[in-house]
Amino acid sequence: MSQPLNDKKVTVWCGFTANFILEPHFFEENAANGALQPVTVNGERYHDLLSNHVLPSLRAMPDNVTSQLIFMQDGAPPHIYRPVKQLLTNFFGPRIISRHFPDQWPPRSPDMNPLDYWLWGYLKSKVFLQAPRTTEELKEAIRKEISKINANQLTNAVQHFKDRVSAVVENKGGHFEHLM
105 touches 85 (CB < 8 A): no
pLDDT at site 110: 59
Burial class (CB in 10 A: 0-12, 13-18, 19+), 146: buried
Q: Provide DSSP, 105-120.
A: PPTT-GGG-HIIIIIH
Question: Residue 156: what pLDDT?
Answer: 93
Q: Is the dihedral of CA 100, 106, 111, 117 positive or negative?
A: negative
The model's pTM: 0.86
Return the pLDDT at 29: 92
CA dist 102 to 77, 85, 90, Å?
17, 11, 14
Strands (E), 56-180: 71-72, 96-97
CATH architecture of 12-179: 2-Layer Sandwich (3.30)
What pLDDT is attached to residue 3? 54
Q: What is the pLDDT along the chain (180 residues), one digit of tens a residue?
A: 455 555 568 999 999 999 999 999 999 998 888 888 999 999 999 999 999 999 999 999 999 999 999 999 887 899 999 999 999 999 999 999 888 888 877 666 656 788 888 999 999 999 999 999 999 999 999 999 999 999 999 999 998 888 887 887 887 777 777 766
Residue 155 pLDDT: 94
> Are the beta carbons of 171 and 179 closer than 8 angstroms?
yes
pLDDT at position 26 is 97
- Alpha-carbon distance of 90 to 50, in angstroms, equals 12
Q: What is the pLDDT of residue 8?
A: 66
| pLDDT score for 105 | 72
In this prediction, residue 108 carries a pLDDT of 63
Beta pairing, strands 96-97 & 36-38: unpaired
Q: At a CB cut-off of 8 Å and minimum separation 6, what does 28 contact?
A: 10, 11, 36, 37, 38, 39
